[in-house]
Chains A and B, each alone.
Chain A
Amino acid sequence: KAGVTQTPRYLIKTRGQQVTLSCSPISGHRSVSWYQQTPGQGLQFLFEYFSETQRNKGNFPGRFSGRQFSNSRSEMNVSTLELGDSALYLCASSSQPNTEAFFGQGTRLTVV
């Protein structure tokens, strides 16, 4: 069974640009969550989607958004990038919300 796939693995963007990250969950999993990992703040919850609906959202500005498609694949978008958005963005999939989550390798975003 294939694991969680995140693309791309690495990204370099300029301040003010926008970026879209992609996540393909484990086959059969309908819940996808996104996390931001930085050295200063650690792992922080961004949002969770289940069956194409955003189930809950962490404490991030509206520049961070996401969506989930009917095949459970998910994308997250960050608009008007800031230097502080540089981080490892991790996607996790679960069969159901609040059950064990399986993580992808992450996308390393660098904003310059």
Chain B
Amino acid sequence: AQSVTQLGSHVSVSEGALVLLRCNYSSSVPPYLFWYVQYPNQGLQLLLKYTTGATLVKGINGFEAEFKKSETSFHLTKPSAHMSDAAEYFCAVSGRGGADGLTFGKGTHLIIQP
């Protein structure tokens, strides 16, 4: 069984400020972890993924995330927010070799203040 908790359904930051979106997971098997972004009336776009190896993962559009096993966390960060980052962000987990598909968090709506 696996689950994902995203803290904060809405996060508001000023343009140029640090973006931090929080994600905690639980998984009975070693996880694969993902962050996706969704713009209005669109599908989901993969931002980055953690499978094995380096725990700091860099993705597209300047985003990165760090897998911390001891904290069961996979928080998403970006040093400087841009207006185009305004969207819904989803953290997801799948279990290696598991059979449950992707389990998503409820999502965090990122608002960028000018």
Q: For the complex, is B101 an interface residue (Cβ under 8 Å from A)?
A: yes
A44 contact set on B, CB distance < 8 A: 104
B interface residues with partner A (beta carbon < 8 Å): 32, 34, 36, 41-46, 49, 51, 90, 94-107
7 more A-B residue pairs beyond the given contacts A92-B102, A103-B44, with a C-beta to C-beta distance below 8 A: A43-B104, A44-B104, A47-B101, A56-B101, A58-B101, A97-B99, A98-B97
Chain A window 68-111, contacts with chain B (Cβ cutoff 8 Å), 1 for yes, 0 for no: 00000000000000000000001010000111111111101000
With an 8 Å Cβ cutoff, the count of chain A residues facing the other chain is 26
Q: For the complex, is A4 an interface residue (Cβ under 8 Å from B)?
A: yes
A90 to B44, Cβ gap below 8 A? yes
State whether A100 and B49 are in contact (beta carbons under 8 Å apart), knowing that A55-B99, A56-B99 are contacts in the complex: yes
State whether A45 and B100 are in contact (beta carbons under 8 Å apart), knowing that A98-B94, A105-B42 are contacts in the complex: yes
Q: For the complex, is A33 an interface residue (Cβ under 8 Å from B)?
A: yes
Residue in B43, B98, B103 whose beta carbon sits within 8 Å of that of A90 in the complex: B43
Q: For the complex, is A42 an interface residue (Cβ under 8 Å from B)?
A: yes
10 pairs, A vs B, C-beta closer than 8 Å: A35-B104, A42-B105, A45-B100, A48-B101, A98-B32, A98-B95, A101-B46, A102-B46, A103-B43, A104-B43
A103 to B45, CA, bound (A): 7
Q: Which of B49, B96, B98, B100 has most chain A Cβ within 10 Å? A: B100
A97 contact set on B, CB distance < 8 A: 99
Considering only CB atoms, which chain B residue lies closest to A100 in the complex?
B49
B105 contact set on A, CB distance < 8 A: 42
